[in-house]
Structure formats: C-alpha cells, structure tokens
Amino acid sequence: MPLSKTEEQLMDLLWQNEKAFMKDLIAQHPDPKPAQTTVATLLKRMQDKGFVDYVQQGRSREYYPLVGKKEYFSRHVNGLIKNFFNDSASQFASFFTQQTNLSKSELEALRQIIDNELDKK
C-alpha cells in the first residue's frame, strides 16, 4: 500500500535523519507544523503499512524507516509504469521525454545513462 502525500513528507524527514523522535519530526516539518496527534496517527499508519518501526527509549519512541528511499521510489515508478504505461518502460520513456521540458543537455545526459546501462548488459 503506498504512502499518502503527508506520509511521504514525514517519511522524507525520517530518511534524512535515519531515526528520529516525534518531537524532532515535528520541529523539522515545514510550517504550518502538524499537531502531535496528527503526526502520531501518521506514524501509526506508516507502521501498519510496514514503512517504519520504533525503539522505545524511556517514555519516548525513536522511529526509523524500514524501507529505503531508493527502494520506495523504485516501487513507485515501477507501479506507475505497470498501471499507466501497460507495463512498458519504453512507453514511459517516450512519455517522459516528450511531455516534460527537458533541455537538449538533459536529453543527452539521459542518452549517456542508457548507453552506460547497455554497455553493462
């Protein structure tokens, strides 16, 4: 089950910190700061989804991610390709390169990345 936008924001803070207490997550959250009860609810939902866990430290919980940022976004992109591009990476690449405002140098950089991957195979 994917994360909501607000859960992703919180997860991003956890990825940046590697582990954090709720008070730290609230302090680092951009304004307007969420209520402590809101953050507690989000963390519980994220725990139920298998994205975070915690270690009890006295009366506080120190949260940490169970899923890495790269792994999460890889799953997210693969889900987009599967659901919106008929499981075709080439359809996705075609859409991405035609529907975004990539400069010539960015397209050339993409070509170099693809060429490097082809050389590895």
* pTM for the whole structure: 0.76
CB 91 within 8 A of CB 85: yes
For the chain, domain boundaries: 5-65, 87-121
Summarize pLDDT for 16-69 with one digit per residue, the tens: 999 999 999 999 999 999 999 999 999 999 999 999 999 999 999 999 999 999
| Class level of CATH domain 5-65 | mainly alpha
- pLDDT value, residue 18: 95
Run of H or E residues at 89? helix 89-99
Q: How far apart are CA 106 and CA 88, in angstroms?
A: 22
Summarize pLDDT for 97-117 with one digit per residue, the tens: 888 888 999 999 999 999 999
The candidate with the shortest Cα–Cα distance to 22, out of 54, 67, 69, 51, is: 54
DSSP notation for 39-87: HHHHHHHHHHTTSEEEEEETTEEEEEESS-HHHHHHHHHHHHHHHHSTT
